[in-house]
């Protein structure tokens, strides 16, 4: 994950890699990641709410965002 910070605030979140090797993984990524990215921008932290069916995606997303935030600090 990559975050863009402007004026001390997260203004964009970009998924650099995501599960896509199986069609179901790609389907989950396609609907969950945009929602998680929007939530990070709205809340300015990695504590996204899990979407039903995408719990593992949320866990990985949270960890990656936390790391990106730490690196940006």
CATH architecture group of domain 2-72: Alpha-Beta Complex (3.90)
3-class secondary-structure state, position 14: strand
Residue 73 pLDDT: 84
Cβ–Cβ < 8 Å for 61, 33: yes
Residue 66 pLDDT: 97
19-61 pLDDT per residue, tens:
788 999 999 999 999 999 999 999 999 999 999 999 999 999 9
Residue 35 pLDDT: 96
Q: Note the pTM of the prediction, 2 decimals.
A: 0.89
Is the pLDDT score of 10 beyond 90?
yes
* Contacts for 2 with CB less than 8 Å, ≥ 6 apart: 13, 14, 16, 68
Delimit the domains of the chain by residue range.
2-72
């Amino acid at each position: 994950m990559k975050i863009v910070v402007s004026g001390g605030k997260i203004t964009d979140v970009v998924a650099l890699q995501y599960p896509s090797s199986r069609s179901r993984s790609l389907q989950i990524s396609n609907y969950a990641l945009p929602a998680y990215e929007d939530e990070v921008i709205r809340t300015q932290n990695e504590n996204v709410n899990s979407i039903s069916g995408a719990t593992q995606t949320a866990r990985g997303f949270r960890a990656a965002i936390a790391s990106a935030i730490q690196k940006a600090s």
